[in-house]
Structure 1
Amino acid sequence: MNYQQQMKLKRWLNKPLLTYTFLAIQTIVFLLMFLSPAMDNWFYSTGTMFGPRVAILHEYWRFITPMFIHFGLSHYALNSVVLYFMGTQIENIYGHGRFLFIYLLSGFMGNMASFAFNSPQTVAAGSSTALFGMFGAFLILGVHFKENMAIQGMVRQFALFVGMSLLFGLFDSTIDMWGHIGGIIGGLLLGSAIALPKQQERYSIHERIIAGGIFAFLIVILFLLGIRKYGLI
């Protein structure tokens, strides 16, 4: 491979490939649901977060699949726009591997919180659990880069946006508030636990271990709370 080919490959690998991949998956799912009533019913019945089927039938994939399913065009469009603009930034900051963990695991925690605290009749879906995880992973940078005024300014802006989003959710019963709260807590913890590439010296090893431990502990607690709600323990 010559130098030009190496540089071309490097530029291609530096693109937000995972953001594009997640966008492509949720777009394909949305189109299938939109164009086919049978597929719409299948994704709705088998892929959304629905607590009774998780607890009783052990359909644990529902902690992941809701991140790629959306209820209607406006729901899909809003989350896709946020994923595109925010995902490209977070993936560029954290790198592909760390971004993968942040997106999927914070979304996982968001769906776990939905399972634990929402009513048994609630059906939830949407990438917003993972999106709030991205917000959390960005906000935690304000703790580790206090001297960076650019980061501090952006953190304040996103903190205001997140605060307004959560406040708005209190007045909209269609919004899965617990999913959002779980997602942002997951993002805050994961952002501290995995650290930035080539910037690990800014992160205390003890803080990283504690953040990772708290994340794992909360996952267990949320799961136990969820199954307890259905009288299984």
Structure 2
Amino acid sequence: MSAVAVLRLPLAVDLSGFVKLLQRMQVPHRVSEEAGEQVLWVSDELSEDVRALYVRFPAGDPEQQLELPAAGSTPRRPGFVQQLTRSPMTALVLLLSLIVSAVTLLGENLEVLRWLTFLEFRVVGQYIQFTPLADSMAAGQWWRLVTPMLIHFGFLHIAMNGMWYWELGRRIEARQGGINLLGLTLLFSLVSNFAQYIFSGATLFGGLSGVLYGLLGHCWIYQLLAPNPAYHLPRGVLVMMLVWLLLCLSGLVSLIGFGEIANAAHVGGLLVGCFTGLLGGLFARRKMTL
């Protein structure tokens, strides 16, 4: 684990109070003097947290306003309601997905479903007739570019996607905020939907899985460049999702009865997620070195 310089301050700045706070929090650190400055070093995984702590408590915490767990105690895991209040954007996206799943009867109610699909359609006898995308855009139906992410076909579909969005979305919301999570979600939905449309043509598709692979790629590359506890995914999770992607691409998953898989959406989401993770990670890494 490497150490990074999180603070570079003039020698006249009193850093003793903040150092005492770090000692009370049992955060490994050291202070050195370089080129007429005092430099605070901590492990790279804690750098952003320590920098944010200094913004709040530059003089330390002499009145001990921060309630820290007693030595040797195990921190209590936040309850479900507390997790919801900490991750409102994650909860909102999941709530919208559940509402859409309910009103579309998990894809069975075609009259409602047709308003949310990438391509508008109408049922003619036993067939579905799709409207060209250009016609929908000319009619101002821009929401169709992203709303397929809210559509799910079956309980297993919404359960699995919801579970992974809750896991990955909360991490990004905690690290980069709810607005950034919403922006990334919409971007990943847009790219994955277009990728699937280009690959498969006029078909029905939907679900959060393309977005999920975008969130996975974002966390993965971001963590490589600017390590942070919020984005630390167990190696098994990353390997499992990448192996699942390869199995889907091989056609084996569809062959054993899981239905058609939106492989292009998965690959498109993963690629754009890796790209945003690269940009975000490089920016965060640059901030660490300033």
TM-score where L is the length of structure 2: 0.56
- Give, as a single letter, the amino acid of the residue that structure 2 aligns with 1:70: H
Aligned residues: 189
- Give, as a single letter, the amino acid of the residue that structure 1 aligns with 2:221: I
Match of 2:184 among 102, 106, 110: 102
**2:209 is aligned with 1:128:** yes
Helix, strand or coil for the counterpart of 1:23? helix
Aligned to 2:110: 41
Q: Report the Cα offset of residue 160 of structure 1.
A: 0.7
Q: Which has the higher contact order (CA 8 A, sep 6+)?
A: 1
Instruction: Write the distance in 2 (CA, Å) between the matches of 1:158 and 1:57.
Output: 39
**2:95 is aligned with 1:24:** yes
- Residues 67 and 152 from structure 1, CA distance in 2 versus in 1: closer, same or farther, beyond 3 angstroms? closer
Match of 2:268 among 175, 179, 182: 182
Q: Is 167-176 or 14-23 further displaced after alignment?
A: 167-176
- Residues 36 and 104 from structure 1, CA distance in 2 versus in 1: closer, same or farther, beyond 3 angstroms? closer
Q: In the TM superposition, what whole-angstrom CA distance separates every residue of 1:29-55 from its partner, at most 9, and x where no partner exists?
A: 111122996xx2133223123485324
1:151-230 pair list within 5 angstroms: 154=233, 156-170=235-249, 171=251, 172=254, 174-195=260-281, 200-201=286-287
Q: In the TM superposition, what whole-angstrom CA distance separates every residue of 1:141-165 from its partner, at most 9, and x where no partner exists?
A: 233136x7x6897263343122112
- Give, as a single letter, the amino acid of the residue that structure 2 aligns with 1:16: S
Q: Report the Cα offset of residue 167 of structure 1.
A: 1.5
Instruction: Write the distance in 2 (CA, Å) between the matches of 1:82 and 1:199.
Output: 27
Aligned to 1:15: 86
Aligned to 2:64: none
**Structure with more helix by fraction:** 1
Contact 2:223/2:281, CA 8 A, preserved across alignment: no
Q: Aligned residues: percent identity?
A: 26
Instruction: Write the distance in 1 (CA, Å) between the matches of 2:206 and 2:230.
Output: 31
Q: Give unmatched runs, 5+ long, in structure 1.
A: 1-10, 204-233
Aligned to 2:38: none
Q: Is 175-184 or 45-54 further displaced after alignment?
A: 45-54
- Residues 109 and 116 from structure 1, CA distance in 2 versus in 1: closer, same or farther, beyond 3 angstroms? same
**Structure with more strand by fraction:** 2
- Structure with larger Rg: 2
Q: Give unmatched runs, 5+ long, in structure 2.
A: 1-81, 120-129
Q: Report the Cα offset of residue 126 of structure 1.
A: 0.5
